[in-house]
Amino acid sequence: MLAIVLCATLAAAGEPAVDYALNCQGCHRADGAGTPGRVPALAGSVGRFMHVDGGRDYLGQVPGAALSALDDASLAGVLNWIVERFGGETDFTRYTADEVGRLRKTPLVDVEGVRTRLLARAP
């Protein structure tokens, strides 16, 4: 019972790790490894998007992010957590609720094509 109360308290507090677990982990997995052949890994690639023009926008426009039930501030927190946790980035401009609100208005349609082009240009 205590575990249920603790989880509910953390979820209500909008902890990015809990929001990730509840909204992203089902496909991207706890370790960010993704689902081979279906969902790309975050671990080992997400940080690269922060170093290529358009990559930052991409992370906020992928349908799983843009169409998620999270509010803009919570999604910004999750994106920042993902970039730090799975991308190893610590010195980056953090997403804000306003930025996320703008990005999610135009979710991507050709996700794989955009991803491939961005990663081809990324360091």
Q: Which residue has the tokens 């426009």?
A: 61
Q: Per the confidence metrics, is the pTM higher than 0.85?
A: yes
CB 35 within 8 A of CB 89: no
CB 23 within 8 A of CB 15: no
**28 and 87 in contact (C-beta within 8 Å)?**
no
pLDDT digits 0-9 by tens, 70-116: 999 999 999 999 999 999 999 999 999 999 999 999 999 999 999 99
How much is the pLDDT for 43?
A: 96
Residue 37 has pLDDT above 70, yes or no: yes
Structural contact between residues 39 and 27, judged by C-beta atoms closer than 8 angstroms = yes
Strand partners, 35: 39
Tokens 């991308």 belong to which residue?
87
pLDDT digits (tens, 9 = 90+) for 4-24: 655 555 455 569 999 999 999
